[in-house]
Amino acid sequence: MEFSFERPEGMAYEAGQTIDLALVNPPETDAEGNMRTFSLASPPHDPFLKIATRMRDTAFKRTLKHMEIGAELSFDGPFGSFTLHENAARPAAFLAGGIGITPFHSMIADAAKRSLPHRIILFYSNRRPEDAAYLDELEELQKQNPHFTLVATMTAMEKSARAWEGEQGYIDAAMLKRHLPEGANPVYYLAGPQAMVLALRDVLTGSGVSKDDIRYEEFAGY
């Protein structure tokens, strides 16, 4: 689910940053508390602040889901340096799993809006097209921005009711080699479930990528 909030006057942030979002006097709570950290899925030019999350059965997410229009929340931020590098001569390789797409959605939409010259290749892994948040929007952004390439891959198409002609299987060294320009020397950005992020870090370092060229965010308990 995606949630949109009125943007406080004067609030600025960079694409890819996070906020700490807190419930105000919630009707229920649990041991996980009343605050969560979310990447902003909205780009900085969006008039609203938007987050997206997988809906688990927790007090926080039950409360968030059933809030009425106009309800108030509080937040701290923005935080973080998971933002697009400045050197446009080096491509950006975004590796996303599931709801880890949120910071990349912000960065890709921001790059299109500002006509940034960066070459961006997004590898986006989900079980099925039905599970892939922002897939339609990303396909549209690919049409708008000639510097952006979407490589979406599905890992459980046998459970899907939709047709799929794109990549299948997990992101691995062979898939990266197929789609990254020869000799590109990109900066790599990883976001998704912890196990996926750790596995992809090993894939990259095992392929000779310097740790200095790998930036990552782990989405635990999403």
pLDDT at site 151: 98
Q: pLDDT by residue (tens digit) across 86-136? A: 999 999 999 999 999 999 999 999 999 999 999 999 999 999 999 999 999
Q: What is the pLDDT of residues 38-48, one digit of tens each?
A: 999 999 999 99
Say yes or no to pLDDT of 188 above 50: yes
User: What pTM was estimated for this model as a whole?
Assistant: 0.93
3-state SS class at 124:
strand
Q: In 3D, which of 134, 144, 137, 152 has the Cα closest to residue 51?
A: 134
What residue spans define the domains of the chain?
A: 2-79, 92-218
pLDDT digits (tens, 9 = 90+) for 133-164: 999 999 999 999 999 999 999 999 999 999 99
Q: Please, which residues have CB within 8 angstroms of residue 21's CB and are 6 or more apart in sequence?
A: 35, 36, 37, 38, 51, 73, 74, 75
Work out whether strand 148-154 and strand 167-168 pair parallel, antiparallel, or are unpaired: parallel
**CATH number for the domain running over 2-79:** 2.40.30.10
CB 118 within 8 A of CB 126: no
- Find the mean pLDDT for residues 66-80: 94
222 — pLDDT class (breaks 50, 70, 90): very low
The strand order across the sheet containing 148-154 reads 167-168, 148-154, 120-126, 92-97, 187-192, 214-218
CATH of 92-218, one of 2.40.110.10, 3.90.1150.10, 3.40.50.80, 3.20.20.100: 3.40.50.80
Token pair, residue 206, equals 């095992």
